[in-house]
Structure 1
Amino acid sequence: MDYLRIENFKCFYNIEVGFNRLTVLAGANGNGKSTTIQALLFLRRTIEHCAQWDNAEGFDSGFYSITKPNGLNVELNGSYCLALGNSNYILPRNYKKDTIELGITNGVGTFKIVYDSNDGELWLTPIAVVGESDKSGLFMQEFYYLNAERMGPRISQAIKFYDYPNAGFQGEYVAQLLGDTNFNYNFRVDEKRKHSKAPSPYLEQQVNAWLNEIMPGVKVSASYSTETHSAQVRVDNYFTKGEPTIATNIGFGISYVLPILVTGLIAKSGSYMVVENPEAHLHPSAQSKIGRFLAHIAQSGVNVIVETHSDHIINGVQISAAKAEIKPELVTINFFSQKEGEPQPDVEPISINKLGELSKWPTGFFDQSQIDFAELFKIRKG
């Protein structure tokens, strides 16, 4: 297991958050889940911005390498959809030092970057690098992030350049990936990620197989035009009767889930895939199935990090463990909460066994249904 080390960053004074092959961040609003993801994204952006590119073993096996600061500042807003304001917003309220530290500990050792917080600037300044970068997921070129605010239905999406195939931070490249014939003919979905009912390794066929699993009867197709520099996704379901319609005529759920499916199927093994609120705009049954899909992708070798407020996502992961679709020891659920008198949020790891049972059920961990049922019972009893 890897550990994300956070010191003097927003609500955290000093904490380590465990990351497994499949890591779920759960808990009430305002308890540090988003801060944890922001810390990871900012660390990743620093590596991209300040490291050297090493592809001595070939283009497909390159890694970032950083041994010391290169004098560049790292922006707090823009990259990875970060909107952190200025540096005064980064330090916690009662900080005792004005430096910030972000890093990761794994089987190789500890790597961290120390930043000068400056004073009200729109950036942080790396001033020291401790430890050595390695060839783990954080230093790979491929890094996949899906923001909670993904693109809704669009008639078309613009074609854009990308360094490596990805769905974009908000799903803006999905139509392009599905519609680009050259990419689809050359790319093959990993055997470990293929849907059991779809033998074809091509991306569109695999996306549709998983989409039908999550939303029965739904199918997508895509077109790609170099003349208009645009791509379009069209959707078919039980009611369109074989005549696909534009995405704007169907709804948000499909547009929100497509980037998750596409990213999971194309993500490079060993890389990070970070997904915020995969449950957005989905029916509870679809939420459970997307939880199982993410577990499937994690089992195949991708480091999946999920922030969620949905117990159905958790249920899907539990079912996946019980069905031996993912090894239970590869799953960690981090529950973020407040404890009276503590200066920072508490992060409690929860594991799953081979029966899909959780190791613990802390107070406030997806127990609102029981609380509401109890309240209704009291009301009905008068």
Structure 2
Amino acid sequence: MIKKFELRNFKCHEGNNYFLLPGLTIVSGTNNSGKSSLLQSIFLLTQSKTRTYPFLAINDELNLGRFSDVLNKNQPNSETLEFAFAYDKSLLLNFGVEELYVNLIYGNPGNFKELNIPNFDNPVLTGIEFVLTRTDGDTEVINLEIVDKKTKNIVYKIEGESDLGYCKVNGIIPEPIIYRDIDENERIICSPSLDKIRDLLKLVNTDNIKYIKAFRVDNFTEGHKSFDDIGLSGEYTAEVMHKYWDKIVDFTLEDAQEPPTFSRVFDYWVKILLGENYRIRSTSLDKDKFKILIQDTITKYDYSLNQVGFGISQLLPILTLLLTSKREEMILIENPEVHLHPKLQSLFVDLCIFILENNRKIVIETHSEHIINRLRFKIKENPSLLEKINILFFGKSKTSDIVYTDIEISKEGRLSHWPKDFFDQTYKDLLGLID
């Protein structure tokens, strides 16, 4: 879906910050160093909405507060937030495009001179920059900027090689009609280039970028109307499991003679992660009510989630989210290691590599050295994974600035360097025991 991401002035990330997302990205670091903010900012790409005016819905899902709460504290309220990204080439080839860079610019809703913005909580989309490179090598730049004047509709001035005038924007998607002036006279259809951009922007949604928080619920009884949305806290896991159970999923299993169902892939990974003695099912209790049962395959007893270890309830939403995903999707996961035994934390990496090899992307925030070490071991086993994996380490400088490092891994699984506070506490404590 996305191969690189940039953010500017979002929360603790001051100035321009650039991140490569090759496949499996591990985000580690000290507390309060911007790790969760990176995952939140990627997910916010899906939260651009329009209610009279285009804005960033920072409270619909993430409850981040007001514009001043998400703007970097060192910046005046006149500054902007920016989120930029570039698409994976494999996705672009379907549209006859070589590269597409998108920069979304959001401003303080109270900074306009003439526009009357009724909601002062959400950042307003003030501009967009598109840089499109065609397969023949030609590059086209298209810029949009909000018009701060009283008009019957909020419009953006658009300037491009073949697109010049004014247009409306829905979320982050320019509408296909371009007007000669702000009074919406003399309509024309947008260029083929902008039309391709519009189609690609439609893919930036919660169907293709999914997020699960660190604090996952342990009661999955409630259902809802969406087919495959497990909820940011995993609250609809039981329903999604139940509805997907017999459906074909887009994964490749060893020795599979035909495309596998969700249930087959799910059981396969339950055995690897939890052992041969577990059988997990979701049953329908009533309309929009579901229950997960865990069976001991030896005694044949069924147990509810509150009768087994808490770690299972924390693992199930992640497992369900990953195994109901589609190719080209991006999955953002906070702290998958919560309440998991070290062995299970390590085996979780094997699941992530399986997902990676089936053409999904994952970004994981973690404090688990077991996840890091298992990843190093898997790279030593299969050095070809190197080009699809990166480790980012976040920390703070002596002046409290956020600094991040891309830690290189050799084909032998060795780290290029070991920054201060990068999973070094165990080593320090062992040295203390030796002394």
TM-score, scaled relative to structure 1: 0.82
Secondary structure of the residue aligned to 2:321 is helix
- For residues 52 and 364 of structure 2, the distance between their equivalents in structure 1, rounded to whole angstroms, comes to 32
| Aligned residue in 2 for 1:356 | 413
Does structure 1 retain, via aligned residues, the 8 Å contact 2:383–2:411? no
Question: Superposition RMSD on alpha carbons, in Å?
Answer: 2.7
- Higher relative contact order at CA 8 Å, sep ≥6: structure 1 or structure 2? 1
Please point out which of 223, 229, 233 is paired with 1:166.
Answer: 229
- For residues 2 and 117 of structure 1, the distance between their equivalents in structure 2, rounded to whole angstroms, comes to 29
**Do residues 77 (structure 1) and 137 (structure 2) align?**
no
Does structure 2 retain, via aligned residues, the 8 Å contact 1:146–1:171? yes
Change (3 A) 1:231 1:195: farther
- For residues 223 and 301 of structure 1, the distance between their equivalents in structure 2, rounded to whole angstroms, comes to 30
Q: Deviations over 1:78-117 (max 9, x none)?
A: 32xx121222112222215521111113562421111112
| Aligned residue in 2 for 1:117 | 108
By how many angstroms is 1:344 displaced?
Answer: 2.9
Correspondence list, 1:160-309, <5 A: 160-162=224-226, 164-180=227-243, 183-191=244-252, 194=253, 201-216=260-275, 217-225=277-285, 227-237=286-296, 241-309=299-367
Q: Deviations over 1:271-312 (max 9, x none)?
A: 111111010110000000002211221121101000000011
- For residues 348 and 202 of structure 2, the distance between their equivalents in structure 1, rounded to whole angstroms, comes to 23
Paired positions, count: 346
Secondary structure of the residue aligned to 2:415 is coil
By how many angstroms is 1:253 displaced?
Answer: 0.7
By how many angstroms is 1:197 displaced?
Answer: 9.5
**Do residues 367 (structure 1) and 432 (structure 2) align?**
no
Change (3 A) 1:326 1:307: farther
| Aligned residue in 1 for 2:127 | 128
* More helix by percentage: 1
Q: Deviations over 1:163-205 (max 9, x none)?
A: x52322121222112223xx433323511xx377998822223
* More strand by percentage: 2
Q: Deviations over 1:325-355 (max 9, x none)?
A: 96211000001111224x6311111233333
- For residues 65 and 384 of structure 2, the distance between their equivalents in structure 1, rounded to whole angstroms, comes to 39
Does structure 2 retain, via aligned residues, the 8 Å contact 1:21–1:299? no
Correspondence list, 1:79-94, <5 A: 79=61, 82-94=62-74
- For residues 200 and 416 of structure 2, the distance between their equivalents in structure 1, rounded to whole angstroms, comes to 32
By how many angstroms is 1:365 displaced?
Answer: 0.9
| Aligned residue in 2 for 1:64 | none
Larger radius of gyration: 2
Give ranges in structure 1 of 5+ residues lacking alignment. Answer: 51-68
Q: Which moved more, 1:196-205 or 1:322-331?
A: 196-205
Does structure 2 retain, via aligned residues, the 8 Å contact 1:291–1:315? no
Please point out which of 43, 46, 55 is paired with 1:44.
Answer: 46
By how many angstroms is 1:146 displaced?
Answer: 1.0
Please point out which of 211, 221, 230 is paired with 1:157.
Answer: 221
- For residues 38 and 304 of structure 1, the distance between their equivalents in structure 2, rounded to whole angstroms, comes to 14
Percent identity of equivalent pairs: 24
- For residues 261 and 383 of structure 2, the distance between their equivalents in structure 1, rounded to whole angstroms, comes to 22
TM-score, scaled relative to structure 2: 0.73
